[in-house]
């Protein structure tokens, strides 16, 4: 015959287990901070369970062309980018001036920021680049790793990190040799 634990012991065990579970740390900023034009944003977006899709030069060129189009469309300053075989790094600053609002449903009107613009970039590159070249499902992971380069931090250090990614991975000896890395705008 199986012995059953009393209710209070089951609850105590569940609570003890809950305390031991790792807590998920959100690295995202408050949403409104992604609309600020006086900040430099460093983004990393990763391919979603696709191995190394950007080893395909046609796909890589399409993704880079889409990033440059997104820069033009939203008037970003795109300091640099580097498309690695399985992820993309780039550093942007949003334009000064009038900001666009959109309907956020029950939350009312919200300011459009970098997250919405990058979501459109990811959607476009999935449907217009990835699927057209025979990919299936989504190209990108749902979220991204992003941070703000603070005033006391040096943007040059972040640019150096982005551009030298293929050097650190042993793909080239100098970043200028890598076909999918570039400085676009001056900071």
If you average pLDDT over residues 126-152, what whole number do you get? Answer: 88
Q: What pLDDT is recorded for position 146?
A: 87
Q: What pLDDT is recorded for position 24?
A: 47
Tokens of 146: 């992003």
Angle formed by the axes of helices 57-74 and 114-124, nearest 10° = 150
CA distance linking residue 25 with residue 3, whole number of Å: 39
pLDDT tens digits for range 2-54: 567 677 776 676 666 555 545 444 556 777 778 888 889 999 999 998 789 99
Q: What pLDDT is recorded for position 64?
A: 98
CB 42 within 8 A of CB 160: no
Q: What pLDDT is recorded for position 145?
A: 87
Q: What pLDDT is recorded for position 147?
A: 86
pLDDT tens digits for range 63-118: 999 999 999 999 999 999 999 999 999 999 999 876 666 666 776 767 788 999 99
Q: What pLDDT is recorded for position 17?
A: 56
Q: What pLDDT is recorded for position 98?
A: 64
pLDDT tens digits for range 114-138: 999 999 999 999 999 999 988 888 9
Please, what's the b/e burial string for 50-73 (b: 16 or more CB within 10 A of its CB; e: otherwise)? beebbebeebbebbbebbeebbee
**Taking the model in full, what pTM does it have?**
0.79
Say whether pLDDT at 141 is over 60: yes
Q: Structural domains in the chain?
A: 28-181 (3.30.70.1290)
Classify the phi-psi angles of 141: left when phi > 0, otherwise alpha if psi is within -120 to 50, otherwise beta.
beta
Q: What pLDDT is recorded for position 99?
A: 65
Say whether pLDDT at 144 is over 70: yes
């Amino acid at each position: 015959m199986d012995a059953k634990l009393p209710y209070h012991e089951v609850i105590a065990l569940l609570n003890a287990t809950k305390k031991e579970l790792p807590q998920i740390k959100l690295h995202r900023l408050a949403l409104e901070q992604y609309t600020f034009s006086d900040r430099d944003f460093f983004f990393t977006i990763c391919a979603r369970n696709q191995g190394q899709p950007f080893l395909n030069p046609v796909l890589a060129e399409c993704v880079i062309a889409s990033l440059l189009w997104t820069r033009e469309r939203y008037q970003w300053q795109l300091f640099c980018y580097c498309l690695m075989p399985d992820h993309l790094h780039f550093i942007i600053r949003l334009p000064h001036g009038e900001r666009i609002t959109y309907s956020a449903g029950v939350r009312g009107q919200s300011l459009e920021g970098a997250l919405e613009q990058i979501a459109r970039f990811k959607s476009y590159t999935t449907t217009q680049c990835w699927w057209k070249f025979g990919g299936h499902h989504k190209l990108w992971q749902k979220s991204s790793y992003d941070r703000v380069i603070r005033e006391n931090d040096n943007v040059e250090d972040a640019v150096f990190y982005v551009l030298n990614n293929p050097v650190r991975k042993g793909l080239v000896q100098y970043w200028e040799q890598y076909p999918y890395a570039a400085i676009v705008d001056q900071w």
